[in-house]
């Protein structure tokens, strides 16, 4: 591998060196010195900072700062593991701390797109390798020998010829005076000692002991509790508030309205906010505020159709928010109407309509999926302490850097007066990218002139929008007389976005291909939800291919491999976004590990494979049907995500995504009547429970030396297809509409 540049200037070294006295800061991708004083470890003189990620104590204890928010995807363990490996540290002696938001030290402190490990890979390795190189040079200078003769092992420095040895702690302050190397050599994959080994969750002990790790656990001197009331329906806004009774309730300090987004604020991608104006109640304790909410008398009114300005990654957009109280039945009708009309062509290869005219068999199927609520177990919450001069925010969020910019604009405070501390997220799944609750908490604290913790009730959380969009897709396939797939046509749309990924498989594997899309405008808000768009396209495409394989009289794995073989040898088109060899690889691995082709009495099998978020996944799901209810016995999962940093944690993540996906596929839906969500808590919104999970999930990784890609999302979409295809084998009926559970029962009743 080419040695990466560390992008450091001598000037930054000198300035930061002077700043921390003996220690120094380096970072990657920036060259000016840090402006925030709170990062200086004034009372930790025994610690030497070798860079923004690594602090070494004189006794050799190494502290690694984990840059990204942790929401269950294991980054707080696996990102430091990457640093520690290149540093040649002893993992057992490493302490991990959660870094605050710090755009000067770190890049991409995000949860999103399963990208933390992929995009952090070189940076994290370079951070470790650079510090190791500085320690070696310090030892060479101290011992008056050549740096080439200095070796490292588990946090120790050695000079073999003279027998000299030192732990990292004893050399750290000398290392801090070494000029930062311009480039460093990274380890060969075969030399990894921590990467590729299973290491336990760094916060495991604290979690099982109930230690305060989550935003909702935050408590500060003089802190008040705030809750909000938002409109009961999409399409509504506040008309008037009568708070006289609520104000008299015990423990209540104040009631007022909060406008989280200014009307003229140009929103960026993650500034989606369903209810820009809400009523805030502030009191001494949570229970008192919850009670006072019931005493509020609020009049609501429908809002008029209006527009908001958005800047989507630099592209200006004017979005129309239509008026009206929408319902699920109307949504389905609107999508079905658009499905019958021509849509926007996203990709066309060959002559699809010609191929359909000469086909000997045409298969056409329409699929749909509902809105979904994220339902993170930790409801939305945030702590804020905003004074005239500064703002301190503490809590769980996915896009702190972008949220900080929005907050800066809203409060009129410069970025360097805002401090965001990230707590562990009690689930994210996309929902905590849209941090309107952080803005609300900050504005409430500013008004109260006191520290405030804002908590959404479960009902506030589930009915506040930002849902997974509702989708519909129609697939058509043409088979010739030899049962070859000669054309494929997909037309898909959603409310309010299209889920189409036009350049994904089977694009590139079919001579004649047409992909079209449409969108339906709505006043409902939607947002990223674990594997956005893929969570629908993966599901329906893999159901459809199963049905086409059956029509062609082919084994479903053989059929997919035949298509992939075409994409490998002679791909159609130029923009195919997948590697057909790796795609076929996971199918072959799952075929072997699941013992595909073996028959067990009353066990029904379905297969599925999908590529998204840079990783390849194939799954085989086995189920039995008892009294019309599916019992999932086993899911066999094959993954190609390149190098697996922390195999057992990656396995856990895949198992969890499979359980999650089965639950969403069987039960998940958020429906609306006259603008009102019909589910507002777990008694109405059904989530998968213990006894409904598969009895076993085994996960197998393709072994290779490819740089790692993500694990948070890619194992989620394929399980929908594997489940649907197994259900068909078990019931003899294809299910086209999610959630499947409702439709299995419906078919049982009518059938």
Partner 1 sequence: MASINLIVNGKQRVVDVDPKTPVLWVLRDHLDLVGTKYGCGIAQCGACTILLGDAAVRSCQLPVSAIQNKPITTIEGLSVNGDHALQKAWLEYDVPQCGYCQAGQIMTAAALLRKTPQPTDAEIETVMNGNLCRCGTYLRIKEAIKTASNVQR
What stretches of 67-137 adopt beta strand conformation (E)? 94-98
Sites for partner 1 among residues 718-737 (CB under 8 A): none
- Comparison of 571 and 656: residue with beta carbon closer to partner 1: 656
Q: How far apart are CA 160 and CA 141, in angstroms?
A: 15
- Choices 265-273, 350-358, 454-462, 497-505; region in contact with partner 1 by CB under 8 A: 454-462
Contact with partner 1 (CB under 8 A) among 51, 655, 679, 709: 655
Q: Alpha-carbon distance 530 to 527, whole Å?
A: 10
Residue 38 three-state SS: helix
* Of 160-168, 434-442, 503-511, 677-685: span binding partner 1 (CB under 8 A): 677-685
CB closer to partner 1 out of 251 and 571 = 251
b/e per residue 122-132 (b: at least 16 CB within 10 A): ebbbbbbbbbb
Per-residue interface string for the shown chain with partner 1, residues 457-476, x marking contact by CB under 8 A: xx------------------
Work out how close the CB of 433 gets to partner 1 at its nearest, in angstroms, rounded to a whole number: 15
Q: For residue 142, give both structure tokens.
A: 């101290």
Q: Is 69 in the site for partner 1 (CB under 8 A)?
A: no
Q: Where are the beta strands (DSSP E) in 338-456?
A: 344-349, 361-369, 381-386, 391-395, 418-422, 452-455
Q: Judged by CB under 8 A, which of 35, 37, 209, 340 binds partner 1?
A: 209
- With CB under 8 A as the contact rule, the residue among 23, 80, 370, 379 that binds partner 1 is 379
Window 149 to 208, contacts with partner 1 (CB under 8 A): 198, 200-201, 203-205, 207-208
Min CB(503)–partner 1 separation in Å: 30
CB of 682 to partner 1, least distance (A): 4
Closer to partner 1 by CB, 515 or 649: give it: 649
Interface residue with partner 1 among 125, 424, 582, 613 (CB under 8 A) is: 424
Indicate which single residue of 73, 260, 274, 445 sits in contact with partner 1 (rule: CB under 8 A): 73
In the sheet with 156-159, reading across from the earlier edge strand, the strands are: 150-153, 156-159, 164-167
Query: Looking at 302, 322, 350, 427, which residue binds partner 1 (CB under 8 A)?
Result: 427
When binding is defined by CB under 8 A, the residue of 376, 587, 590, 641 that contacts partner 1 is 376
Residue 476 contacts by C-beta under 8 Å, 6 or more apart in sequence?
356, 362, 363, 364, 487, 488, 489, 490
Which CB atom, from 247 or from 686, has the smaller least distance to partner 1?
686
Minimum Å distance from CB 68 to partner 1?
Answer: 14
- Residues 255-274 touching partner 1, rule: CB under 8 A, are none
What are the φ/ψ torsions at residue 54 (nearest 5 degrees)?
Answer: -130, 125
Radius of gyration of the chain (CA): 28
Residues 680-719 that bind partner 1 (CB under 8 A): 681-683, 687-691, 693-694, 696-697
Vertex 396, ends 391 and 401: CA angle to 5°? Answer: 60
Cis peptide bond N-terminal to 496, omega within 30: yes
85 vs 660, beta carbon nearer partner 1: 660
Stretch that binds partner 1, among 217-225, 483-491, 516-524, 555-563 (CB under 8 A): 217-225
Contact segment (CB under 8 A) with partner 1 among 269-277, 420-428, 443-451, 614-622 equals 420-428
Considering the rule CB under 8 A, would residue 563 count as an interface residue with partner 1?
Answer: no
Q: Which of 648, 678, 707, 748 binds partner 1 (CB under 8 A)?
A: 648
- b/e per residue, 398-414, with b = 16+ CB within 10 A? bbbbbbbbbbbbbbebe
Q: Which stretch binds partner 1 (CB under 8 A): 17-25, 216-224, 300-308, 311-319?
A: 216-224
DSSP conformation class of 5: B
Contact status: 496 vs partner 1 (CB under 8 A): no
Q: Is 375 in the site for partner 1 (CB under 8 A)?
A: yes
Can residue 72 be called a binding residue for partner 1 (CB under 8 A)?
Answer: yes
85, 99, 67: which is closest to 155 by C-alpha?
85
Q: Is 741 buried (19+), middle (13-18) or exposed (0-12) by CB count in 10 A? A: buried
Alpha-carbon gap, residue 112 to 434, rounded angstroms: 12
The least distance separating partner 1 from the CB of residue 223, rounded to whole angstroms, comes to 10
Beta carbons of 406 and 439 less than 8 angstroms apart: yes
Which residues on adjacent β-strands are paired with residue 256? 280
- Find the shortest distance in angstroms from Cβ 205 to partner 1: 6
Residue among 137 and 378 whose Cβ is closer to partner 1? 378
Least Å from the CB of residue 650 to partner 1: 11
CB neighbours (10 Å) of residue 596? 18
Q: Which residues pair with 492 in a beta bridge?
A: 473, 517
Min dist. Cβ of residue 67 to partner 1 (A): 18
Q: Between 302 and 656, whose beta carbon lies closer to partner 1?
A: 656
647 near partner 1 (CB under 8 A):
no
**Location of structure tokens 């060899």:** 581
When binding is defined by CB under 8 A, the residue of 663, 677, 708, 730 that contacts partner 1 is: 663
Shortest CA distance to 738 belongs to which of 660, 665, 683?
665
Helix, strand, or coil (residue 647): helix
Residue 659 in contact with partner 1, rule: CB under 8 A: yes
d(CA 423, CA 382): 10
- Tell me how far, at minimum, the Cβ of 716 lies from partner 1, in Å: 10
Cβ distance 118 to 708 under 8 Å?
yes
Q: How far apart, in whole angstroms, are the C-alpha atoms of residue 236 and residue 578? A: 44
Residue 258: HSE in the Cβ half-sphere, 13 Å Cα cutoff? 30
Site string for partner 1, 271-310 (x = CB under 8 A): --------------xxxx-x--------------------
155: left (phi over 0), alpha (psi -120 to 50) or beta: left
**Binding residue for partner 1 (CB under 8 A) from 16, 74, 445, 542?**
74
Applying CB under 8 A, which of residues 81, 653, 711, 727 lies at the interface with partner 1?
A: 653
Interatomic CA distance for residues 384 and 453, integer angstroms:
6
Write down the least CB distance from residue 208 to partner 1, Å: 4
Scan for tokens 């070796």, then name that residue.
Answer: 151
Q: DSSP string covering 664-698, please?
A: HHHH--B-EETTEES--STTTS----GGGS-SEEE
Phi-psi region at 409: left, alpha or beta (left = phi > 0; alpha = psi -120 to 50): alpha
CB of 600 to partner 1, least distance (A): 19
Sign of CA dihedral 476, 494, 738, 655: positive
> Is the CB of 398 or the CB of 512 nearer to partner 1?
398
352 vs 661, beta carbon nearer partner 1 = 661
Identify which of residues 198 and 602 has a Cβ nearer to partner 1 in the complex. Answer: 198
Q: Using the minimum distance from each CB to partner 1, give the nearer residue, 170 or 225.
A: 225
For the record, the structure tokens of 344 come out as: 């926007």
Least CB distance to partner 1 at residue 696 (A): 7
- Rounded CA-CA distance 339/736 in Å is 15
Least Cβ distance, residue 72 to partner 1 (angstroms)? 3
- Distance of closest approach, residue 220 Cβ to partner 1, in angstroms: 12
> Binding residues for partner 1, per CB under 8 A?
71-74, 198, 200-201, 203-205, 207-214, 216-217, 219, 225, 250, 285-288, 290, 375-379, 424-429, 455, 457-458, 648-649, 652-653, 655-660, 663, 681-683, 687-691, 693-694, 696-697
């Amino acid at each position: 591998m080419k040695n990466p540049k560390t992008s450091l200037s001598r000037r930054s070294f000198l300035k930061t060196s002077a700043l921390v006295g003996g220690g120094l800061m380096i970072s990657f991708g920036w060259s000016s010195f840090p402006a925030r004083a709170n990062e200086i470890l004034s009372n930790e003189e025994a610690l030497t900072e070798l860079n923004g990620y690594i602090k070494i104590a004189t006794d050799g204890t190494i502290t690694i700062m984990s840059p990204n928010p942790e929401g269950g995807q294991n980054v707080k363990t696996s990102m430091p593991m990457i640093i520690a490996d290149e540093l040649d540290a002893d993992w057992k002696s490493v302490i991990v701390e959660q870094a605050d938001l710090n755009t000067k030290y770190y890049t991409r402190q995000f949860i999103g797109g399963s990208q933390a490990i992929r995009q952090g890979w070189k940076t994290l390795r370079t951070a470790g390798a650079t510090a190791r190189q500085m320690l070696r040079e310090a030892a060479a200078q101290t011992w008056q020998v050549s740096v080439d003769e200095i070796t490292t092992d588990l946090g120790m420095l050695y000079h073999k010829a003279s027998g000299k040895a030192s732990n990292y702690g004893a050399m750290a302050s000398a290392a801090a005076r070494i000029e930062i190397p311009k480039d460093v050599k990274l380890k060969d994959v075969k030399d990894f000692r921590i990467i590729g080994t299973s290491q336990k969750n760094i916060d495991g002990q604290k979690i099982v002991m109930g230690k305060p790790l989550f935003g909702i656990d935050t408590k500060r001197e003089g802190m008040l509790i705030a809750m909000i009331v938002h409109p009961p329906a999409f399409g509504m806004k506040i008309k008037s508030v009568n708070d006289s009774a609520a104000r008299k309730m015990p423990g209540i300090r104040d009631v007022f309205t909060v406008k989280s987004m200014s009307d003229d604020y140009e929103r960026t991608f993650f500034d989606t906010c369903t209810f820009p104006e809400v009523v805030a109640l502030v009191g001494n304790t949570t229970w008192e505020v919850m009670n006072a909410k019931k005493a509020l008398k609020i009049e609501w009114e429908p809002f008029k159709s209006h527009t908001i300005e958005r800047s989507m990654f630099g592209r200006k957009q004017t979005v129309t928010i239509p008026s009206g109280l929408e319902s699920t039945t109307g949504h389905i009708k609107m999508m079905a109407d658009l499905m019958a009309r021509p849509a926007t062509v996203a990709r066309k290869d060959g002559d699809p309509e010609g191929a359909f005219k000469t086909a000997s068999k045409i298969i056409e199927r329409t699929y749909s999926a509902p809105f979904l609520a994220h339902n993170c177990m930790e409801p939305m919450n945030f702590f804020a302490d905003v004074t005239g001069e500064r703002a301190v925010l503490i809590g769980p969020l996915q896009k702190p850097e972008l949220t900080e910019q929005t907050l800066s604009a809203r409060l009129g405070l410069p970025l360097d007066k805002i401090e965001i501390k990230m707590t562990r997220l009690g689930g994210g799944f996309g929902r905590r990218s849209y941090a309107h609750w952080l803005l609300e908490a900050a504005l409430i604290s500013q008004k109260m002139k006191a520290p405030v913790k804002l908590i959404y009730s479960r009902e506030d959380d589930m009915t506040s929008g930002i849902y997974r969009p509702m989708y519909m897709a129609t697939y058509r396939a043409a088979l010739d007389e030899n049962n070859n797939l000669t054309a494929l046509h997909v037309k898909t749309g959603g409310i309010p976005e299209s889920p189409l990924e036009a350049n994904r498989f089977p694009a590139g594997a079919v001579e004649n291909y047409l992909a079209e899309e449409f969108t339906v405008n709505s006043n409902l808000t939607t947002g990223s939800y674990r594997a956005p768009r893929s969570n629908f396209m993966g599901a329906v495409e893999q159901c459809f291919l199963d049905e086409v394989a059956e029509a062609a009289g082919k084994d479903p794995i053989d059929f997919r491999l035949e298509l992939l073989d075409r994409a490998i040898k002679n791909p159609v088109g130029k923009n195919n976004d997948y590697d057909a060899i790796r795609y076929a690889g996971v199918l072959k691995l799952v075929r072997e590990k699941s013992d595909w082709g073996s028959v067990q009495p009353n066990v029904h099998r379905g297969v599925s494979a999908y590529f998204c978020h840079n990783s390849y996944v194939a799954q085989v799901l086995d189920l039995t049907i008892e009294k019309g209810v599916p019992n999932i016995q086993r899911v066999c999962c094959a993954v190609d995500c390149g190098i697996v940093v922390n195999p057992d944690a990656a396995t856990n993540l895949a198992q969890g995504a499979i359980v999650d996906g089965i639950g969403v596929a069987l039960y998940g839906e958020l429906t609306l009547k006259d603008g009102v969500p019909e589910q507002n808590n777990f008694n109405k919104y059904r989530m998968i429970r213990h006894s409904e999970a598969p009895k076993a999930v085994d996960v197998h990784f393709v072994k290779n030396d490819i740089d790692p890609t993500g694990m948070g999302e890619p194992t989620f979409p394929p399980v929908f297809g594997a489940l649907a295809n197994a259900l068909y084998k078990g019931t003899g009926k294809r299910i086209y509409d999610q959630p499947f559970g409702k439709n299995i029962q419906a078919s049982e009743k009518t059938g």
